[in-house]
Structure 1
């Protein structure tokens, strides 16, 4: 078991973003964290990444409380831009190298080339799609045990999505776990092992993807439409 949360709650004043959720994430699997914007996906990921403190409940990574030790094992890609405007694509690699011992410069260069980015380009001049590719390259260049990607396909045109999905899949190994949040369910259905549907901060449905299909007689996309319609 990689990530374990129990009765996890996060409140922002009168708003409850995460409302007592409990579930476990196993090693070597690809999980989809599904739900529309505002459902609690991002808040949960930020808690697991150690960027936000829960109001109550517990969350551990391989038995360890979320903190400096777990941050060395978990690579998190947020939806927000996290580069300074003055940075070039090359500077982003140096920035990550300074922060993360597991950052692989050669892998970063390979991913930048695959994403058709230029090392000399400034991050502030990149389109939303290219900026999204840069975030993916920087995150996947780490040799992490758990990758958490928050809406990695946002801003990516439909032609480039297959390439991005293939790149993400390359990170999937027996000792590596992927947690991908998205509302673009049709793009993820073909690659995931498990699905977690989050609605208003609660778990609406979860389980192995194939079990859910058999039990409900519906695809993951159809279940998504049913839950959030």
Structure 2
């Protein structure tokens, strides 16, 4: 089986800025991986390249066995860090929209997650709080029958009491042979579910490894290690 993600010499520029600077990274299936780093370290740009949203880059990129594009998009589910659903839509309409747009989408799984999150499918998005809307978007993203899930700051707008429920929902139907790559600043909240982490700095990998190995090597939690690396 090929790896879920394989990157070699990935470069993405915005004018004179190198958002990704010769990035090398390999991630296997069967893991929940935290993508960590300061603002401007390249996390969102990397996720957009992997999702096929950004195409103007150099280097070698393979995700779910393909270069980012039409073939990979059927195997990759991407949740961006900004809302993308129309304010006036009802939740049930959003589920129908995804069912029309994505061949490998399970509306029953989406409805199950909506119920798990305690949401009413008849509500309009404009009637919801930011945290409730994020739950809807997470439910839609995780209801796709994908091999790779890319989530950009999925719990950033959610109050601390709701974060654990959302993480339970994310893992609720995640298959053991898929890859979940999650970017976050809320490391303390995500650390219990992470198998490995990738710490980025200035468009490159500053540190990567299995969570248990890094804790044993450095003698601190991943949250504390992050603070030490970026202080």
TM-score range, shorter chain: over 0.9
Deviation at 1:64, TM superposition (A): 1.7
- 5 Å matches for 1:38-53? 38-53=40-55
| Residue correspondences, number | 229
For residues 76 and 209 of structure 1, the distance between their equivalents in structure 2, rounded to whole angstroms, comes to 24
CA RMSD between the two structures: 1.3
User: Is the 1:33–1:198 contact (alpha carbons within 8 Å) kept by the matching residues of 2?
Assistant: yes
TM-score, L = length of structure 1: 0.96
User: Is the 2:64–2:75 contact (alpha carbons within 8 Å) kept by the matching residues of 1?
Assistant: no
For residues 76 and 62 of structure 1, the distance between their equivalents in structure 2, rounded to whole angstroms, comes to 13
For residues 146 and 173 of structure 2, the distance between their equivalents in structure 1, rounded to whole angstroms, comes to 9
Provide runs of 4+ in structure 1 moved above 4 Å: none
For residues 125 and 6 of structure 2, the distance between their equivalents in structure 1, rounded to whole angstroms, comes to 35
For residues 178 and 65 of structure 1, the distance between their equivalents in structure 2, rounded to whole angstroms, comes to 18
User: Is the 1:30–1:172 contact (alpha carbons within 8 Å) kept by the matching residues of 2?
Assistant: no
Q: Could you say which residue in structure 1 is the equivalent of 2:31?
A: 29
User: Is the 2:64–2:76 contact (alpha carbons within 8 Å) kept by the matching residues of 1?
Assistant: no
User: Is the 1:33–1:181 contact (alpha carbons within 8 Å) kept by the matching residues of 2?
Assistant: yes
Alignment gaps of 5+ in structure 2: none
- Greater mean alpha carbon deviation, residues 185-194 or residues 117-126: 117-126
- Give the match's secondary structure for 1:207: strand
Alignment gaps of 5+ in structure 1: none
For residues 108 and 153 of structure 1, the distance between their equivalents in structure 2, rounded to whole angstroms, comes to 18
Deviations 1:38-78 (A, max 9, x none): 22111100100000024211111243211101100000101
TM-score, L = length of structure 2: 0.95
- Greater mean alpha carbon deviation, residues 129-138 or residues 109-118: 109-118
Q: Could you say which residue in structure 2 is the equivalent of 1:2?
A: 4
Q: Could you say which residue in structure 1 is the equivalent of 2:212?
A: 210
Q: Could you say which residue in structure 1 is the equivalent of 2:61?
A: 59
Q: Could you say which residue in structure 1 is the equivalent of 2:94?
A: 92
Deviation at 1:173, TM superposition (A): 2.6
User: Is the 1:8–1:54 contact (alpha carbons within 8 Å) kept by the matching residues of 2?
Assistant: no
Deviation at 1:204, TM superposition (A): 1.0
For residues 81 and 62 of structure 1, the distance between their equivalents in structure 2, rounded to whole angstroms, comes to 25
Q: Could you say which residue in structure 1 is the equivalent of 2:230?
A: 228
Q: Could you say which residue in structure 2 is the equivalent of 1:17?
A: 19
For residues 6 and 54 of structure 1, the distance between their equivalents in structure 2, rounded to whole angstroms, comes to 15
Q: Could you say which residue in structure 2 is the equivalent of 1:158?
A: 160
User: Is the 1:33–1:180 contact (alpha carbons within 8 Å) kept by the matching residues of 2?
Assistant: yes
- Greater mean alpha carbon deviation, residues 92-101 or residues 210-219: 210-219
Q: Could you say which residue in structure 2 is the equivalent of 1:133?
A: 135
Deviation at 1:174, TM superposition (A): 2.4
For residues 165 and 121 of structure 1, the distance between their equivalents in structure 2, rounded to whole angstroms, comes to 22
For residues 60 and 135 of structure 2, the distance between their equivalents in structure 1, rounded to whole angstroms, comes to 33
